[in-house]
Amino acid sequence: MTIHVNYLDNGVGIEIIASGTVTGQEIIEAQKEIYNPDHLNTQKYQIIDRTGCTKYQVYAEEIQIIADMDNEAADENPDIIIAVVASTTLQIGMTRMWQAYLRNDCFITKIFPDRKSADRWIKTYI
């Protein structure tokens, strides 16, 4: 799998590192892990870092599924903030599509060109 999930700050934060070729199905499987009831209620932030991703094979239908999972998770814990580090035009475009599928009362999300900027933004919320 090219997606690694790390728990930060005793589970308050979740780091999702994507590297190599990433597929939509891999993202969906990672979502199932991070939205497990054992993790969902303690989460305050997620950092999704795609800087190591060399190929992004995610389709529009999968983006809709991922957003639906986020919308459901927000019903349980609406206070999660998500920083997405995306370095290519394709990744940024797909992230914007995902943001468009999120309900207005869902998580606060923002796209960043680098990890340092994302980390700084996260620290303003926690």
Residue 86 scores a pLDDT above 90: yes
What is the model's pLDDT at position 87?
Answer: 87
pLDDT band at residue 17 under the 50/70/90 scheme = very high
Task: Give pLDDT tens digits for 2-12.
Answer: 999 999 999 89
Residue 105 scores a pLDDT above 90: no
Angstrom distance (rounded) from CA 96 to CA 43: 23
Per residue in 32-66, is it b (16+ CB within 10 Å) or e — as a string? eebbeeebbeebbbbbbbbbebeebebeeebbebb
Residue 1 scores a pLDDT above 80: no
Task: Give pLDDT tens digits for 20-70.
Answer: 999 999 999 999 999 999 889 999 999 999 999 999 999 999 999 999 999
Of all residues in the chain, what percent carry a pLDDT higher than 70? Answer: 99
What is the dihedral sign for C-alpha 19, 20, 22, 26?
A: negative
User: What CATH code is carried by the domain that includes residue 50?
Assistant: 3.30.750.24
**Paired tokens of 21:** 């070729």
Q: Position of tokens 């589970």?
A: 11
Number of domains in the chain: 1
The pTM (predicted TM-score) of the whole model is 0.94
The residue segments making up the domain with residue 41 are: 3-123
CB-CB contact of 49 with 18 (8 Å): yes
What is the model's pLDDT at position 104?
Answer: 86
